[in-house]
Amino acid sequence: MSHSLEDLSSEMRKIDFCMLTSKTTGGALSSRPMSNNGDVDYDGTSRFFALESDRSVSDILENPDIGLTYTSSKGLFSQRPFFISIEGKGRIIRDRKAFEEHWDPDLDEWFEHGVDTEGLVMIEAVGQRVHYWDGTDEGELKL
């Protein structure tokens, strides 16, 4: 059984955190946990908030190639975990209006002044290829 982008979006809605991987200026891979902030109607784009001074931001500005890895604790029908890996391009958004469109009050815990936090940026991760494994099936979608 292959999964559609809608199926994967449904699975991603259940997973709050993913690992965002970027390439450093020296060519090494650097990963950090990022919250999807409940903003998951996955159409091929994920958005995360960060500070301009964060390593992942400078990495993306230097090299936009990124990876996202999501893992659920249970898959479909209480099966094995569901794994989703997304390859794509990252870009840095500095538009307050865009921040407001994707802001969740839970983010106030990390960004004290909300969308007015000094140095706030949004990382927009645009997927190009999605791989998934659900314990009984695996597949790939090109976006």
The per-residue pLDDT for 76 is 53
What is residue 121's predicted lDDT score, i.e. its pLDDT? 98
Task: Please list, in sequence order, all residues whose beta carbon lies within 8 angstroms of the beta carbon of residue 26, skipping any fewer than 6 positions away.
Answer: none
Give 71's Cβ-side CA count (13 Å radius): 7
Classify residue 110 by burial, with Cβ atoms within 10 Å: 0-12, 13-18, 19+.
exposed
User: What is the pLDDT at residue 96?
Assistant: 95
> pTM score, two decimals?
0.88
Assign domain 5-142 to a CATH class: mainly beta
Tell me the average confidence (pLDDT) per consecutive run of 10 residues in the chain, 143 residues long: 80 86 94 81 85 96 96 67 92 96 90 96 94 87 89
pLDDT at 39: 64
Domain ranges within the chain, ordered by starting residue: 5-142
CA gap 26, 2 in Å, rounded? 38
